Amino acid sequence: MVRYGILGFGHHAVKRLMPAFAESQVTGIWRRDPAKARANAREFKIPHAFDSAEELCASPEIDAVFVVSPDALHLPHVLLAAQHGKPVLCEKPLGMNAAEVEKMLFATRAAGVVFGVAQNMRYNASTQLIREWIAEGRIGQPLLAHSQFCYSAEKSPRAWIYDPSLACGGPIGDVAIHCLDGLRFILNTDITEVSTLAHKDAQSGEVESHAVVSMAFGNGAMGAVTVTTRGSYRSLIEVTGESGVILCENGLTVDHPVDVVLYRQDKVAAHQRVSNADAYTRMIDGFSAAVEGRGEYLATGEDGLHNQRVLDAAYTSWRTGAKQIIE
């Protein structure tokens, strides 16, 4: 059993991660507020609430490190884990820019440790089924792909998401990365070009409040990711091919079952209801299997680097108004 230490034990860890640990266990945590860390440790019966991130990474009680801290802390935390020879799973986005992720990859490769990004949507039954149907040729050659992620940030307990010193950006960095990685995964290709339109408001400050990111894929398809922190919750996936369309309303949600529907000539050709409720568990178990040499993790550090380059290009396009090419 892999014993995890979590760096940055905040709302996400409480709501999503702790219920997901099955074949692995959480042995220790650290967060910026020591009193809150001790309270969390008592609540979840976690043996250790460490006083520093370094103490957690150095502990012989920790086999692997899960970095869940704000975006700007990912680089030092990943480097710290690698320095102590610990496999490290890091939340998305991996860093504030691609240069940071390149440093992470260099350090983890030098240390010889497994390094993954927590793109849990790759473990969703919905995205895996869509990927399977596309690979089977059910819609022919994919031509258009769209993913939308909307939520209201007004009620978010993550106070740092509007702070540009801690967050990579607004909804592009926060949730568009799930959308673009999901499209990459289901189309089994990379992104080659990016153009962005975005808007910021008084509440979002220096980061965007809603955006449209258009992109070209390596397989010839074109797509768009649309995101906002000002709307009702929605996480759509749709792919149009030469001979059919796959649609999944709220395809990225883990909170309730979703319907994956295949249309041909305006008629339902296939329909399957799936649950993504175990996606976080499958992600953690998948990373644990990779640590123990029993399998491959679906979202590697290299995947995280490509996604980060797309984010960098998206923000550059917004600032300059020019299309960006992904090398």
Sheet architecture: strand order including 230-241:
267-274, 258-264, 245-248, 230-241, 142-152, 222-228, 210-217, 191-199, 324-325
When pLDDT is cut at 50, 70 and 90, the band that residue 59 belongs to is very high
Averaged pLDDT of the chain: 96
Question: 16-25, 29-38, 54-63 — which is least confidently predicted?
Answer: 16-25
What pLDDT was estimated at residue 157? 74
What pLDDT was estimated at residue 143? 98
Between CA 300 and CA 124 the distance in angstroms is: 16
- pTM of the predicted model as reported, rounded to 2 decimal places: 0.96
What DSSP element (H or E) covers 267? strand 267-274
What pLDDT was estimated at residue 23? 72
The 3-state DSSP class for residue 168 equals coil
**Can you give the residue ranges of every domain in the chain?**
3-117, 121-276+308-325
When pLDDT is cut at 50, 70 and 90, the band that residue 299 belongs to is very high
For the stretch 124-167, pLDDT in tens is: 999 999 999 999 999 999 999 999 999 998 777 777 788 999 99
The 3-state DSSP class for residue 60 equals coil
Between residues 59 and 162, the one the model is more confident about: 59
Q: Are 3-117 and 121-276+308-325 equal in CATH topology?
A: no
- What does 62-129 look like in DSSP terms, one character per residue? -SEEEE-S-GGGHHHHHHHHHHTT--EEEPSS-SSSHHHHHHHHHHHHHHT--EEE--GGGG-HHHHH
Query: Which superfamily, per CATH, for 121-276+308-325?
Result: Dihydrodipicolinate Reductase; domain 2 (3.30.360.10)
Convert 261-300 to b/e letters by CB count within 10 Å (16 or more is b): bbbeeeeeeeeeebebbebbbbbbbbbbbbbbeeeebbbb
Question: 13-27, 51-65, 174-188 — which is least confidently predicted?
Answer: 13-27
When pLDDT is cut at 50, 70 and 90, the band that residue 203 belongs to is confident
Between CA 225 and CA 172 the distance in angstroms is: 9
What is the CATH code for 3-117?
A: 3.40.50.720
The 3-state DSSP class for residue 246 equals strand
Query: Going by DSSP bridges, is the β-strand pair 115-117/88-90 parallel, antiparallel, or unpaired?
Result: parallel
